[in-house]
Chain A
Amino acid sequence: MRVLRAVEMNRCIGCLSCMITCAAVNQQDHSILKSAIRIKTSGGLTGKFIGIVCQGCKDDVPCAEVCPSGALVRRQAGGVLLDKDKCVGCERCVTACTVDAIHFDTDIKKPIVCKHCGVCARFCPHGCLQLIEEVQ
């Protein structure tokens, strides 16, 4: 199993193709707000782009730890998968994530969690985002 990493953000051109395709493929939505990853600017466009992506925590997984209903299931390579049926929409995972990589979908009242599918990396024109095989 592989995990998503923002490895070369210095090369990012800010096209947001990653967010557009993540939202489309994973949430069937045209809005970048539905993307599990976020590209932000630091200090406007003259600054660098920052990729806010799930860090694929492995041993200590803050979001899963605070989940009261067991809806966040640990992935073997790191990170979590969301079991929507179990989720109660309490948003604790959103605040627990140190890097702010979990977003809350206000339409369906569930978190948007990266599942490390790599569609964003596939549409990244500069290889800033990559799916990487984690060595066990």
Chain B
Amino acid sequence: MFYEKTTKVLYIDLSTSKIEIKQRTDLSEFLGGVGLASKLLEETMRPELPPLASEQPMILAIGAISGIYPLITKTVAMFISPLTGELGESYAGGRLALALSMAGFDAVVIHGKAPRPSYIAIDGGNVTIKDARPIWGMDSDVVGQFLRDSGEASGKRSILRIGPAGEKMVKFASVCVDTYRHFGRLGLGALMGSKLLKAIIVTGDKTTKIKDFKDYFKTYQSIFKAVTDTDLMSKYHDLGTTINVKVINALGALPTKNLTVNRFEGADQISGEAFGEKNLVRKIACTGCPVGCIHIGQFRRKFDEGYDYESVSVAYDYELIYSLGTLLGISKTDDVLQLIEAVEKTGMDAISTGVALAWATESLMQGIVTETETLLPLTFGDTENYYKAILNLASRINPFYQTLGEGTRFAGAAYGGEEFALQVAGNEIPGYHTGYANLTGLTVGARHSHLCNAGYAVDQSIKTFDEKKAVASLFDEELERCLLNSLVICLFARKLYNRETVLKALQAAGYPLTDDHLTTIAKRIYSTKLQLKEKLGFDPRKVELPKRFFKTPSMHGPLDSSVVERMINHYAEKCSQLLAEKI
């Protein structure tokens, strides 16, 4: 944490209720965030045991300068993913980074399994494990309300919680952070559920004197100005990420109806503009970010005759409109928000849920499964049944939903229909069918996300495709993001936090590093992550990509699987070279 060379790590063993705080002096070369969390995961994970064995850890970490500069607002979670069986890495905004900083911890390592449903309350050095039996089973939003009223710390406290899906260990269950943000991807919610850990409350009252006010505030101001006075961030503030609905659709890269097609006829009806005009009621921000990209949409639902309405507010983004909209053939903004509400309450990753239901729909259409299994006549565009299906999935109501709750790859292998199970290495795909860089990027990316290396952006920026250049670009981006994620900046600010700005910000907070240091740190982190993946048995060359990716044309036309294979091999060589380097 700022000005300090030691790293303060909180260890919580839920099995024994043992709580330990260690001042580590050997971790500064990982800077913090994803670097620190990777190292702690390496130390504590048990690759020989299943992902949900009670011994497995979940790690939360913030960066060296979290909370003191604009948009350095995220917390990273690392764990073994119950969904993919390998590296789990997920990010959440909200207030968590500031709360951890004020509690005085760079990282928290939680392992073991509580003897009964529990929640953890971290108030600075005062850490208690409390009884969660009365709140076990509660929806994610309701449990948040209860815990919020249980203590006084409004405005600086962060509340993490899981919904019923996490308790049932749906492998893509999410963790909700402060109502509108999530550790969404790769199943951290299932891991918490397996530990009988319903929630974590974080607060603290640490204060830290600024050492060099002039230098710090000058840097703060220049970053703040770049955020608010230039158009660098306006995309995220104005329409937000949903601006992409029209853009990606026009390119012919928008996965629609389980990627049977690459354009959606209803895209205009659920575009960012449509949401902005019909449903957007406010925007809010993560603590420390003047952008305010969290778009809150509202809709009203009639629940009885006699003008009885309820109003529902949920946060929406591009990925959710894709997964719970275009992928399911839904073309009304209210309907998309309704499905978002269902995944919020139950606590599941919106992308994985949408992909799983799209697979189920096509499987039903093709006769791979019948209505006896799905219990509902799932059809593209049928919101009402999808809403019910989400509840069935979260409660794992019958053997079919039990299987689907293991993930789309697992369901495809169990029932058939693997060729249209839209996943890469077990992780359900984000909303881009842009081309080779995207497919390669998802395969080789440390967490199989578009956020690992932005392959979708590489595809969109290239004029003439060059395999080698695309691979180099993916590799360099992944490497640089290891650095940015060690600071745990919001990746929307990746252009703002160039090397020069990062160095200045670190310098003013007591870290006189050089550009070379940063390069070494990035390489060290990436190597550590690659080694973790190896230990967990991952080899990108063994990933089998579903045939659907090569059947439905991308924005660059039909794709050839042998090109992706070559690119993956080439990327793997670059990884081997990095691992051979002495860092």
Contacts and interface: CB of A to CB of B under 8 A. Distances in A.
Interface string B67-103: 1101000000000000000000000000000100010
Contact of B206 (A15, A28, A31, A126): A31
A107 to B, nearest CB: 6
Interface in B138-157: 144-145, 148, 154-156
A44 B67 contact: no
Nearest to A15: B285
B531 to A, nearest CB: 35
Interface in B154-168: 154-156
A16 B156 CA distance: 10
Given A20-B68, A45-B180, A30 B207 contact: yes
A125 B228 contact: yes
B217 interface: yes
Interface in A4-61: 13-17, 20-21, 24-25, 28-34, 38-41, 44-46
Contacts of A44: 144-145, 148, 179
A22 to B, nearest CB: 12
Contact of A41 (B98, B155, B282): B155
B359 interface: no
B289 interface: yes
B72 to A, nearest CB: 11
Given A28-B210, A40-B154, A125-B228, A45 B284 contact: yes
Task: Name the interface size band of chain A.
Answer: 20 to 34
Contacts of B288: 15-17, 20
A89 B73 CA distance: 35
B287 A15 contact: yes
Given A24-B213, A28-B213, A125-B292, A16 B207 contact: no
A46 B313 contact: yes
B207 A31 contact: yes
B290 A14 contact: no
A14 B292 CA distance: 8
B290 A123 contact: yes
Contacts of A20: 67-68, 288
A17 B291 CA distance: 10
B225 to A, nearest CB: 10
A90 B292 CA distance: 40
A119 B66 CA distance: 22
A32 B289 contact: no
A24 B207 contact: no
B207 A107 contact: yes
B178 interface: yes
A39 B228 CA distance: 20
B11 interface: no
Contact of A46 (B68, B102, B179, B220): B179
B561 to A, nearest CB: 45
Given A13-B292, A15-B292, A24-B216, A29 B285 contact: no
Contacts of A39: 155
Nearest to B313: A46
A41 B287 CA distance: 13
Contact of B224 (A17, A30, A34, A40): A17
A33 B204 CA distance: 10
B209 interface: yes
B2 interface: yes
A17 B154 contact: no
B208 interface: yes
B560 interface: no
A41 B157 CA distance: 11
Nearest to B225: A123
Interface in B269-313: 282-292, 294, 313
Nearest to A32: B156
B373 interface: no
A73 to B, nearest CB: 25
Given A30-B67, A123-B290, A13 B284 contact: yes
B573 interface: no
B96 to A, nearest CB: 13
A40 B206 CA distance: 18
Contacts of A45: 178-180, 284
Given A39-B155, A41-B154, A125-B228, A15 B290 contact: yes
Given A15-B289, A46-B313, A30 B179 contact: no
B144 A13 contact: no
Contacts of A16: 98, 155, 287-288
A88 B156 CA distance: 29
B205 interface: yes
Contacts of B98: 16, 32
Given A24-B216, A45-B179, A29 B208 contact: yes
Given A16-B288, A41-B154, A123-B290, A33 B207 contact: yes
Interface string B433-460: 0000000000000000000000000000
A53 to B, nearest CB: 14
Contact of B285 (A14, A40, A46, A107): A14
A31 B228 contact: no
Contacts of B224: 17, 123
B521 to A, nearest CB: 23
B260 to A, nearest CB: 37
A29 B209 contact: yes
A48 to B, nearest CB: 9
Interface string B313-352: 1000000000000000000000000000000000000000
List the 6 shortest-distance A-B pairs measured between CB atoms, nearest first.
A13-B292, A31-B207, A15-B285, A125-B290, A13-B285, A45-B179
Interface of B: 2, 67-68, 70, 98, 102, 144-145, 148, 154-156, 178-180, 205-210, 213, 216-217, 220, 224, 228, 282-292, 294, 313
Given A15-B287, A16-B155, A28-B213, 13 more contacts: A13-B282, A15-B291, A20-B67, A24-B220, A25-B217, A30-B67, A31-B207, A32-B156, A33-B207, A38-B155, A44-B144, A45-B284, A46-B179
9 contacts: A13-B292, A15-B289, A15-B290, A20-B67, A24-B213, A25-B217, A30-B68, A33-B205, A44-B145
